[in-house]
């Protein structure tokens, strides 16, 4: 984990968005970072499609974690 310096206006924007979307300031900033990264990797996709990719990735990651104990028993 590292420290990221951002401008005061951007911090204010993150604070407002985090309150509106019921996320912590850190969670909101990370969400914007992930969406921005996805936009650069997939410029042809719309916001909703990018969110769908992130959700699918999260579901797959959880499925792998849930499956770990089952593999260990086998």
Q: Could you report the per-residue pLDDT of 40-64, keeping only the tens digit for each?
A: 999 999 999 999 998 999 898 888 8
Question: What confidence tier does 67 reach under pLDDT thresholds 50, 70, 90?
Answer: confident
Alpha-carbon distance of 15 to 26, in angstroms, equals 9
∠ Cα 54 55 56 (to 5°): 90
Structure tokens belonging to residue 59:
């579901």
Alpha-carbon distance of 7 to 30, in angstroms, equals 16
pLDDT of 2 reads: 82
pLDDT of 70 reads: 61
Question: What confidence tier does 18 reach under pLDDT thresholds 50, 70, 90?
Answer: very high
* Whether the Cβ atoms of residue 27 and residue 17 lie closer than 8 Å to each other: no
């Amino acid at each position: 984990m590292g420290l990221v310096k951002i401008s005061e206006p951007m911090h204010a924007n993150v604070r407002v968005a985090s309150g509106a979307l019921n996320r912590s300031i850190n969670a909101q900033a990370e969400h914007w970072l992930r969406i921005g990264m996805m936009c650069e990797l997939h410029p042809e996709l719309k916001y909703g499609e990018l969110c769908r990719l992130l959700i699918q990735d999260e579901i797959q990651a959880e499925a792998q974690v849930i499956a770990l104990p089952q593999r260990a028993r086998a």
